[in-house]
Structure 1
Amino acid sequence: MTLGTHRLRVLRHARFRRFLLGQTTSLLGSGMNTIATTFAVLRLPDGGVNAVGGVMAARILAVLVVLLLGGVFTDRLGARTVMLAADALRFGSQAVLALLLLTGSARIWEVVALAVLLGVGEGGFMPGLSALVPGLVPEGELASANALLGMARPVATIVGPGLAGLLVAAFDAGTVVAVDAVSYGVSVVALVGLPVVRAQAPGLGLFSELGRGWREFTSRTWLWVTTLHIGLFNFLLWAPFLVLGPSIAEQRLGGARAWGLVLALEGIGAIVGGVLLLGRNPRRGLTWSVAASVGWAVPVAALAMGLPLAWVAGAAFFAGIGAAVCTTLAATVIQRDIPAEVRGRISAFDSLGAFALGPLGLALAGPVSGVVGAERLLGFGVLWQVTAVGVVLAVPSVRRHGATPQVAARVAVH
């Protein structure tokens, strides 16, 4: 597929290229980190499978706890400042962990504490993405910018774990964690060269600022309805898929290699979806975003129906395309239609609502499937997702969104 130069014109902006490079490097390091940390914990004298779960849970909980604070400080101090601090914290936590692992002195409580710091950095970083990008590219190129940033994640998801596995085998887990620390350092350097974006939020107290962000969030029906939609999707469909999929693959699809193929094709689909969005600026972005979210139901339906690997993998590829369209256009809509002075808090509430139920879904999928059966649980998730997409698209504020131009407050770039 040949891309015309007009489809890549967003890359002519040097500041965006700088940020894209830093973000891609950071994501690649993160893609390597999960494998490295897992093997490191398994090999610790006081480690093991339960310890791996504890480390992962500590990181996720830290992200969820800090998200709202990250949104407040993003609006108060500017996205670049908060993201710099967050990446510096992530760099420091991984550098210390690498040192402990390489010297053979790491203990599980130290790994958990550093995982918490890593999660704090992630929770602080996430709200800034929505606030920073509009200051790097013109409004008409936001969708292309978000598409390229979105493509970086599946690339890292595909390449990172494989590269980590090779490095762990050739060296050790500490070396891979050190590489992850360096990737955050690259992101810090990239952020230093970006403009300071000030939303000029009033100097209110923390709870007052959170309250205003909540009122802004709930006052937009299209926003909280779509956030709830994604939150329930993660709880009822995607969490069971991630938990039960490997087990089903082990039973009848060919094991870990087959499941790896399914996830890889989903990532490749996401890259293709991002490419398809380059150079495009759809008016009804919210409608297309919600409609594309039905794609996630396809591979789950293939598993529930007992289809062979080729069908499941092809369905995952289709889901990846839908995922790219959904997430890219949703991010673009928020950047265009939310006033700059509350964009960080809105993004934080949106992310929290979308992912808060995910850990609960992961925890419940196994026990519930033991009662009702894996295929029935997956089939219920498919039915829910298809129905929910139709219901959400019928909501007037969602259906009509983008029919007329909306004006959001501009950011001041210094």
Structure 2
Amino acid sequence: MEYLRLLRKPTVLGLWLARGLSVIGERLYGVAVMWSVYASTGSASLMGLVAVLESAPYVVLGTLGRRLVARFSSCRALAWLDAARAAVTAALPFLWSPDTRGTCVLFAVVLLLGILGALFAPNLEALVPGLAEEGRVHQVTGLFDLTARIALITGRASAGLLLLVVSRIELFVCDGAAFAVSAVALGLLARNGGAPAARPTAARPSPRARPLLRSHPRVGLAIGVYGLLPLCSAATTVGMPVLLATRYGAGAGVYGLLTAAVGVGALIGNPLAGHWRPTGWFAVCCGAWAVDGVATACMGLVGRVSTLGLLSALTGLVAPLAAVSLRARLGRFPPAERVRLMAVEHTATHLGSMAGIMLLPLVIRVSPRGSFLTAGATVAVLAAGAHALSTRFLRTAPAPGAAEGDGTAVAGY
């Protein structure tokens, strides 16, 4: 398999290990924080505030911090960021207490870790395309997408198992250990040469997002639609337990099976996405997002749990297809532009997450089924509209190899 051949390269293996451990650390930290907030306050609203505080730095730094973000576009800088995340999470048990002061400290730590994550994520993802030669960018992008999805599943499952044998505070220590090992892996990678990166200089400053997106309108449209995809995720995450309880009389066991169906679909879809190089990346992205939206909307209409399982697997199946196609497209830009576009993509997705967290619970209170219809229809209509807009108004755009700013002439990119 192509993924195994890529992992034989020490540089790919090192960054792959760092990526997986960082995502696991983020999941462990997320579960520990949510449980700590709920245990000390009993407030679901404050749990939502945690999610907003975690996402806000991505929005602020992605919008206003282009020069700051670009300063961390190397393995050495990323190693320091993960070392800082390890220190902060490991220190939290000594700072936290189950009272108002401890909750305020917890919120401050969430904000700080959100800032570190907003500096880390787009830069690490921008390093990935430089790990392979031009013709294998799609495959290496698929490998790291698969890594992130496996780490997400593993991190959540590990957090649940660890909470059976350790306290929430001890879980923070495990979280810090994951970040620390990732920092060591990145440090060793930096010592051995690392992945190529581009820091802003006087001759080549960090590019501004607006002119960049104007020069590449399809990329801007794709990031815009991708930014609202978390609406579907919010519906299936927050709305599904309510839907199962009110419509089917089902509980946590069925919800776990549906979540597993999404994961199985993603694990099947990722190898297909990583090895398939479509000639029209934008059409593939829009098509996958439209299918995801329609499947999510149908979850509010069907009358059988088995059908919900099939629809859940379908959403998991198409998600890697769009994500890998978009990330591979961004990976073909020069490094400085790539970092900026990765940061813009994170800004869009975290804005979408914040919108889902704040708006969908209001819809769920009125109609659990309506939340699926609202989220799914929004994404499906926007995906179809973006494709129609691109087809109608962008026909005269120059050839991709010349206009897309990536220095390549690969068909469809």
Under TM normalisation by the shorter chain, which class is it? Answer: 0.7 to 0.9
Q: Which residue of 2 aligns with 1:139?
A: 134
Alignment of 1:266 with 2:265, yes or no, is no
Aligned partner (choices 15, 18, 23) of residue 19 of structure 1 = 15
Alignment of 1:78 with 2:73, yes or no, is yes
Partner-residue secondary structure (3-state), 2:331: helix
Which stretch shifts more, 240-249 or 400-409?
400-409
1:103–1:112 CA distance, 2 compared to 1 (3 A)? closer
Q: How many residues align?
A: 399
TM-score where L is the length of structure 1: 0.85
2-side partners of 1:265 and 1:401: how far apart? 40
Alignment of 1:10 with 2:9, yes or no, is no
Which stretch shifts more, 276-285 or 8-17?
276-285
Which stretch shifts more, 376-385 or 313-322?
376-385
In the TM superposition, residue 307 of structure 1 has moved relative to its aligned partner by 2.7
2-side partners of 1:149 and 1:401: how far apart? 31
Alignment of 1:384 with 2:381, yes or no, is no
1-side partners of 2:395 and 2:327: how far apart? 17
2-side partners of 1:204 and 1:73: how far apart? 17
Aligned pairs for 1:352-363 (under 5 A) are: 352-363=347-358
Q: Stretches of 4+ moved more than 6 A in 1? A: 102-106, 397-403
2-side partners of 1:8 and 1:358: how far apart? 33
Partner-residue secondary structure (3-state), 1:320: helix
Alignment of 1:408 with 2:371, yes or no, is no
Q: Which residue of 1 aligns with 2:198?
A: 199
In the TM superposition, residue 72 of structure 1 has moved relative to its aligned partner by 2.7
TM-score where L is the length of structure 2: 0.86
Q: Which residue of 2 aligns with 1:288?
A: 284
Q: Which residue of 2 aligns with 1:315?
A: 311
In the TM superposition, residue 351 of structure 1 has moved relative to its aligned partner by 2.1
In the TM superposition, residue 229 of structure 1 has moved relative to its aligned partner by 1.5
2-side partners of 1:243 and 1:202: how far apart? 44
1-side partners of 2:161 and 2:233: how far apart? 29
In the TM superposition, residue 11 of structure 1 has moved relative to its aligned partner by 1.9
1:102–1:200 CA distance, 2 compared to 1 (3 A)? closer
Aligned pairs for 1:42-57 (under 5 A) are: 42-44=38-40, 48-57=43-52
Q: Which residue of 1 aligns with 2:245?
A: 250
The answer to whether the Cα contact below 8 Å between 1:25 and 1:186 also exists between their aligned partners in 2 is yes
2-side partners of 1:291 and 1:129: how far apart? 27
1-side partners of 2:311 and 2:66: how far apart? 35
Aligned partner (choices 164, 185, 189) of residue 184 of structure 2 = 189
2-side partners of 1:233 and 1:255: how far apart? 26
Query: RMSD of the TM alignment (CA)?
Result: 3.1
1:102–1:363 CA distance, 2 compared to 1 (3 A)? closer
In the TM superposition, residue 233 of structure 1 has moved relative to its aligned partner by 3.7
Q: Which residue of 1 aligns with 2:411?
A: none
In the TM superposition, residue 114 of structure 1 has moved relative to its aligned partner by 0.9
1:370–1:402 CA distance, 2 compared to 1 (3 A)? farther
Q: Tell me, which stretches of 5 or more residues in structure 2 are unaligned?
A: 409-413
Partner-residue secondary structure (3-state), 1:202: coil
In the TM superposition, residue 70 of structure 1 has moved relative to its aligned partner by 5.9
Q: Which residue of 2 aligns with 1:65?
A: 60
